[in-house]
Amino acid sequence: MFTTPFEKIITRAWGKPGSHSLETYQAAGGYQALEKALEMAPAQVIDEVKKSNLRGRGGAGFPTGMKWSFVPKDNPKPKYLCVNGDESEPGTFKDRYILEHDPHMMLEGIAITCYALDAHVCYVYLRGEFKHQAERTQAAIDEAYKAGIFGKKVLGRDFSLDCYLVRGAGAYICGEETALLESVEGKKGWPRLKPPFPAVVGLFGAPTVVNNVETLASVPHIFQRGAGWYAGLGTDKSGGTRLVCLSGTVKKPGVYEVPLNLTVKDLIFKPEYGNGLPAGRKVKAVIPGGSSAPVLTADELDVALEFEALKTKQTMAGSGGVVVMDESACMVRCLWRVARFYAEESCGQCTPCREGTPWQTRLLRKIEEGRGTHEDLETLVHVASSIAPYPPIGLGNTICALGDAAALPTHSFFQKFKDEFIAHVEQKKCPLGDKPWGAFQDAYNKGLPQ
């Protein structure tokens, strides 16, 4: 597609003085999109979002307009919008910058979404560690109330909207939409069985839509410039631009707004993005969508940072966290670190995840420290397969996708770097010269799955 010339829309005001204020946002045309949306029927608003091909930016990439349309119109219960700002996927750090630099963009998206859904209450759920971002967001909400954007009459129309900020306690599992709903309700953040889905039975048992921060920040641009314009920025199935988080062994790590046809290779090497690796280093592997996304090898980087394109490589765009590893990286050690994260963050509700994730970490530590056997390698693959098979993606044996997130890296790291795993076993040490963690790390590891 790409009929619209690329331009930055989400990050257009980043770095400008006072970009987080209502005055600055309105001076650049802020809340004009809301004015336009309020002149339309709610069903028309949903249709426009469908035409824009906006897909969720939180990880799954589900079509946003379609998700909104699942909310039943004849349900007598109140409807809710929940904003997922619990950004905790390793390698991902974009939503916090939206909240810090331009929170009103998200708030305008909230108002448009709530109008489309006939929802009169929105909860913005932020990761507990986001203290500064929470302060910025609350200040923006307060400004919106004072300006008559939120409250009894949104911009003077016969539509009321209240918006509340809720802070979590730093649990990765609360980034899963049903665990988030449990947390907002004041309960332990355990994922729910689906169906029923949140669109029918969500917050407080009522119809609910859960959207990511970047997704909602994209909504105003659809109504400000038109659904066709927004769709033309992207591919046939994915409209707009997207934010990616580049980290690891690159000269210029950071958050970049990119066109969806930009390849992983260009993101890493183009001067306006990563600008390549330090002298003497070469790419060994790249995680393209946060730590749960299956890894790519150096030969697989000519693939666009787009949902459907990455599926052809049996991986996913995910939350946009692109992590680059050079040839000095030990893939066993890298996988061990990823596995330890998921073992620590498992809620323990499902047996495959509760038992399988720490089992993976124990096996990987044994292999990395030169104590592993060929049988351990077979067991590692068996344990990962018991949590979630690979491929296909998304058909695991647990209530939520954390099990998939823990198993898919194990499958992909082992399949694509099998020789390195075998070398650890046969040489009885890390062939890259990494020292075992040893006793000096035991204090740090205390209480973490080994």
Least Cα distance to 369 among 414, 428, 417 occurs for: 428
Query: Regarding beta strands 296-297 and 283-287, do their DSSP bridges make them parallel or antiparallel, or are they unpaired?
Result: antiparallel
Name which CATH class applies to 331-445. Answer: mainly alpha
Name which CATH class applies to 242-326. Answer: alpha beta
Q: What is the predicted pLDDT for the residue at 58?
A: 84
Q: What is the predicted pLDDT for the residue at 437?
A: 44
Distance from C-alpha of 274 to C-alpha of 267, rounded to nearest angstrom? 6
Q: What is the predicted pLDDT for the residue at 389?
A: 86
Tell me the domain boundaries of the chain.
22-232, 242-326, 331-445
Burial 389-422 (b: 16+ CB within 10 A, else e): bbeebeebbbbbbbbbbbbbbbbbbbebbeebbb
> Fold match between 242-326 and 331-445?
no
Q: What is the predicted pLDDT for the residue at 443?
A: 45
Distance from C-alpha of 350 to C-alpha of 362, rounded to nearest angstrom? 19
**CATH assignment of 22-232, given 3.40.50.11540, 3.40.50.300, 3.30.420.40, 3.20.20.70?**
3.40.50.11540
The low-confidence residues of the chain, meaning pLDDT below 50, are 436-441, 443-444, 448-450
Alpha helix (H) ranges present in 102-130? Answer: 103-117
The string of pLDDT tens digits covering residues 310-367 is 999 999 998 899 999 999 999 999 999 999 999 999 999 999 999 999 999 999 999 9
